[in-house]
Amino acid sequence: MAVDGSSPAVDFDIFAPTGPLYLYRVNASIIDGSMTPGRFGGLSELSNGLLVRAVDSDGAVVVDFLDGASIVKNADWAALSGVDNTVITAAGDDSMPVGWNLSKGLGEPLYLAAGCRLRFTVRDDLSDLTEFMVFGQGRTE
């Protein structure tokens, strides 16, 4: 599905299947050609970008990790407190592993009660990226 200004945004959520989740780390992997800090992957800077928020079971925003901004280029990942990212150039596709240490940025893990989620909202078409993947590491009770 293409996501653009005329299409609905697509939400990707990290949540505990049952009970609460203590989320320590989020890892993203972006692989694409011609990556620079001013692009998103190897695409041009995004028009609408990615939102990163914690939402409650009704979808209401509890925490906006970017304070109203969005990730529109590779360098913007650094706006998340506790994140490390570096573009690794290679012959063929470049890669950019993003490690977001929530415990470092927040001073403790992100606590998500049952039904709450860490939500990445994609508001642009990313289908031309070679790979874009986000996953969380944590523990449940």
Encode pLDDT of 68-115 as tens digits: 999 999 999 988 877 877 777 776 788 888 888 888 778 889 999 988
- Which positions ≥6 away from 138 have C-beta within 8 Å? 21, 22, 23, 24, 25, 109, 110
Give a yes or no: residue 5 inside a domain: no
- Identify which has the larger pLDDT, 85 or 120: 120
Residues pairing with 61 in the sheet: 55
Give the per-residue pLDDT at 7.
62
Cα 96 from Cα 87, distance rounded (Å): 5
Cα–Cα distances in angstroms (integers) from residue 95 to residues 31, 33, 44, 70, 130, in the given order: 4, 8, 16, 21, 10
Residue 129: give the domain boundaries: 10-140
Give a yes or no: residue 21 inside a domain: yes
Q: Count structural domains, the chain.
A: 1
Is 125 a residue whose pLDDT tops 70? yes
Give a yes or no: residue 31 inside a domain: yes
Give a yes or no: residue 4 inside a domain: no
SS3 101: strand
